[in-house]
Structure 1
Amino acid sequence: MREVEGGNRRRRNVEAPSPARYNSNHRTRNRKAARMNLGSESETVEFKKSTGEHKEALQAISAMLNKHGRGELYFGVKDDGNVIGQDVSDATLRQVTSWVSDKIEPAVFPTVERLDADDELRYIKVAFSGADAPYSADGRYFTRVGTSNKALSASELSAMVIKRERARSPWDSQPSGRPVSDADERAVRDFVERGGRAGRVGGGFAGVEDALAKLDLVAPDGSLRNAAVELFCEGSDTYPRMKLGLLGGNTKAKILDLRRECGTMLKLLDFAEYFVTSNIRREFVIGETGMYRKEIPEIPAEAIREAVANALCHRDYTTGTAVEVNVFMDTVQIVSPGLFPEGDSPERHLAGIASEFGLRNPAIARTLFRAGVIEQYGTGIPRIKEACKAAGVRFRFEQTVNSTVVVFGRPGSQVTVAGDDHNSEGKTACATNDGSWGTMLDSLGKSERKAMELAAANGSVSTSVLAEGAQITKRASSAALKRLAERGLLEWVGKSARDPKQFYRIPSDDHPAS
């Protein structure tokens, strides 16, 4: 550098920086601009600038384990996700592993990795998981709230301890104190037969004790596990296992029928399906001759069965309350005592992302699976969704204070006449009354049964049409139709008794019988 005198001013000519020095400064600025970023913290991700913050890091690990059972923590990363790096030697990795395994109780064994950022900075990733909550850090317990760690209250800690003990020893796996002889042999034999047909139980039936032992349903003390009692023992009339109601509206104000059942689980499942399908409307598909019918429930039977099976399998048995199956005017509702386990929800099942973590009754679920009643956990609700979608039936889940409810909409009923376009021309569909079509027909005489089939197939039936179809006289035909009208199974339509166009039709919601 040189100085030049110029009047009263002194001018400095500064040498330009060398190319090498310029490039070094430019690289430094680019390194800062291109610093690696890991994103944002969350309820399962925590950033720490260095291992000097290990006490706070352990609290975060405790909090994430207690809230989610897993998490990731990074050393050498700022709160905003920018990697700033730190010294990471083998000794550093061993120290981090020791902190986690020694200071977190119950013991957790993390995966500790040394990672390289794009700008040659090094940082540490700690991944951990555990299913034995509550976890403490240096004797203190925390839970995760957003990106903060909150100390657990005494009540929260107590609830978590109870949950852990239940997970370690689920209610359905505990000994009941009841002898193996209490198990119903017919129920066990039926289970083995179903399991054999499903290809999940082999060897056939060799006795109650042998079958239950193979299913691990006999406790170490020789008594039945609670799961075996619910599956294979008759219950008490005082405390029914299932209540089934037929209601005269959309509330429980008018009860038309009420059943209290205490049978074995597979009996309850079969009876519940029968009760619902017998008390909802059906679509009757009738063949060309009028002598063939196919009954299709307005709610798919497989959806009903799946919902009842889920209620029996996953309910909370410690409440002492019964599963409810209620048939209302506009809906069918299946009520299961207990809510979804924490971390699980109906939405997760509908999305197909449910897991077996926190399964309430694993012994019952395992046994029903082997009987072919249920499939892998988390697939039942998607199957309900698929069946209802195919049938055009709406359904939803509701969770009350202490129960989970599946609500199926009742879309109605109709009669469809089978056959080609020519044979079906001019035939109309009409609604039928609730109840079993087959049972109703079986209770009728031959001519009356023919009248009902003709009315369903053609939308109406007259004296002359019945006389020709049943090969009887018009007087006998008229008497048969009048008897059906008196029972409310048909309704007469006409201007007068001498009206040549008078006819009979099946009552529907649009034209109910008087």
Structure 2
Amino acid sequence: MLIEGFIDTVRPSRNYSEDSVGRESVHPDQLDQLVRQLRIQRNDDARCEVKACTSDLGSAVWDSVSAFANTSGGMLLLGLDQESGFAPAPGFNLDRVRDQFVDGIGDGGSPGRLVKPPSYAIERGEVDGAPVLLVEVAENDLGSKPCYVRAKGVQGGSFKRVDDKDIKLSASEIFEMQVALTSQDTDRRPVSEAEIDDLDDALVEALLDRRKGSKALRGAKGRAEQLSRLNVTTKDGIVRLAGLLVVGRYPQQFLPRLLIDVTVHPANEKSAPGEPVRFIDREQCEGPLAEAIDQAVSVTARNLRTYSTVEGTARVDHLEIPREVLREAIANAAVHREYHQLFQGQPVTVDVYPNRVVVTNPGGLWGGKTLESLDDGISRCRNQTLMQLLQSVPVADTAGVTVEGQGGGIKMMIHEMEAHALDRPRFRISPDQVVVELRRHGAEIPALRAWLGGLSTDPLSDYDDAALLVAKREGKVGVTDLRDLLRLDSDDIRQLLSDLSNRGLLRFIGGESYELWSDEPRLRTSDEQVIAALSAESPLDIHELSAAVGKSPNTLRPILRRLIGDGHVTPTAPATSRSRKYLRTR
């Protein structure tokens, strides 16, 4: 949609004054282009809502304003009739509709039709000689969501924009918007039926051993007080949710759906109910959270392809998606998910498709995090007690822990995926859900490994692989490309590329760039210009070619000799002939 052009010229503001309306009207070409696109698609869309408003503004407009404010903003185009092909609506009174909008939004002295109304800006326009009113509605800040229709209440009057529809927000979406910037304590709440005996002795001992000597346990008398100090239990000895999840024997006895559901699908989309094969592997990973995460990583990994490299004298197997990326994605989902009772019936899900792995957690982003700030290295966690406990419980058979809590996990995922020539993780954020998608190499793995293996009999490091794969995919590879990809120092990248060049795998092409080695001579820019100007059917003499490429005949002669010698150009007569012309070799 062409709405973006309007956003640059229409500045949302709640400081409305009648004198400002239409003072700087929309450029006619922009509006014509917008209406032309609406007529082509025969519908409005996610960023534009069209209303005829023949008699008055109409109550449905406020649903759309709420939806735009709660989603990504948008535009109301008032005075066109969608049913008539977006023609001007008969009887549209711009001034009356404008005044009704201003009063309804709350700038006319009354409370207005909306709670938490958005910023907006109004512009006049003209379509087919008739006036229209354009209202640009801004997205509300996170702390001002949800915007809702006052008369319908927050549950019935909060909307989001999905394509051309205004859809009511669910109870969970509304809840997440309301608490997105507030302190959360769900993980600290006691689980009424759980008792100390429901905790796993070995995990409790591991936790206490890790925290031995810490200030948290200084002066604590006995195990009960130690567990209370570490927030495993309340002072009254009731097990907290975080404590149950981390050191409980079987947390699902009390909260059956707080698990990780791994499903492997036969196709790139979920099968419909009733189809013969809906999934080819499925495991519900239960138990204490660290154990469930470890199991989910293993189940996912066993359904991915592997490839091998030779490092030194050893053959090393690699997953097509690095295991540490899988662990980070799944652990993030389990730790940062929403544990409020509205969400306790929803597990974390891991869906393995032939072309991707999708990890989904209930609950939206929290603490002001946005899609744009996910990789800023700053950790914000709604479940602070859960995070703290997991940092102190070791992963089975390792010295490490399940989470680090340093805010570097997303950066690590991006780096590892790119270092293995995989796409960056893709995030999809909604008010009550976070989805991360990890693309697989899929069927490319064997071909890529065979191709790399055919380049050299010497072993190639992961960094060598990444450099060669970039050169293959992009046509060239440079210092800047690899520095950003591998997060190495520029001098280390130069040495890496130089070594690959010395081994006959890359060749220098100027600046700090290299391309894959080829035994065929590389065409210069001037060569390519000449070849592009020639035809395989209609020959040109040197003067015609000179006019075509803008080079003098004397400049062209050595270029033509080289291209003839390399077989790219065919002359029609001997070099001494005045009628000599040139054809592009077929």
Normalised by the length of structure 2, the TM-score is 0.41
Q: Higher Cα Rg: structure 1 or 2?
A: 1
TM-score under structure 1 length normalisation: 0.47
